[in-house]
Structure 1
């Protein structure tokens, strides 16, 4: 379960960027650069975990968000919804827009941890 450890490390790193670099004050992060880095890092952590569960494509091409959503929808509708939320918050709002809301970032990190935990449980159950 090396991929799960790697995914969790991404989340830890993202939280570290927010805690130590993004300069939180009054519920807002003031350094958008580190909010963007944190968002991309956390989203990548989700993808690392999902790739372990869903399998890599034969070609080393990027998978679209739609590919992940389609694959997840066949497994679990709730996690598909969680993934959509994580994508919106971590990848788009934080990663691209540098959304400064600490509340929003907290929700994104919680969704990421939930998805990674879900993947870890499924992988554990597959190996039994």
Structure 2
């Protein structure tokens, strides 16, 4: 399967987790376990897309700083989107389980923006 389509599938899975399992009520998700799961899934989709573009790191494991360095060389606006997605999806949702639906929506929006940017970049290459 194409990596961009795979990244989009991750994002769709995150949306399904939130809509079907997290139980939104008055702008808040009721089950933090599923907020965490959705945040992790969406962030993983971002990394799948970025890995398709950026390739392999020569030494050691990739970490957020590596992604920041690579994106800083390519596109400063996308770097800001990545930092926002990392903070929202990975830290706020995955670790903290932030139940605010608007937070999740913003994170998913940034993830989609990054995946679409990679898709356009790959198509132009």
The interval holding the TM-score normalised by the smaller chain is: over 0.9
Counterpart-to-counterpart distance in 1, 2:119 and 2:31: 33
- CA deviation digits over 1:59-104, x for unaligned, max 9? 6x53110000000000000000000000000000000000000000
> Which segments of 5 or more consecutive residues in structure 2 lack a partner in the other structure?
none
Task: Indicate the residue corresponding to 1:22 in structure 2.
Answer: 22
Query: Structure 1, unaligned stretches of length 5 or more?
Result: none
Q: TM-score, normalised by structure 1?
A: 0.95
Question: Matches of 2:54 and 2:123 in 1, distance apart?
Answer: 14
Aligned counterpart, 2:70:
71
Counterpart position of 2:38: 38
Q: Partner residue of 2:80?
A: 81
Dislocated runs of 4+, deviation >6 Å: none
Per-residue CA shift, 1:10-43, capped at 9, x if unaligned?
0000000000000000000010000000000000
Equivalence for 1:50: 50
Cα offset, 1:56, TM superposition: 1.7
With normalisation by structure 2, the TM-score equals 0.97
Aligned-residue Cα RMSD (Å) equals 1.1
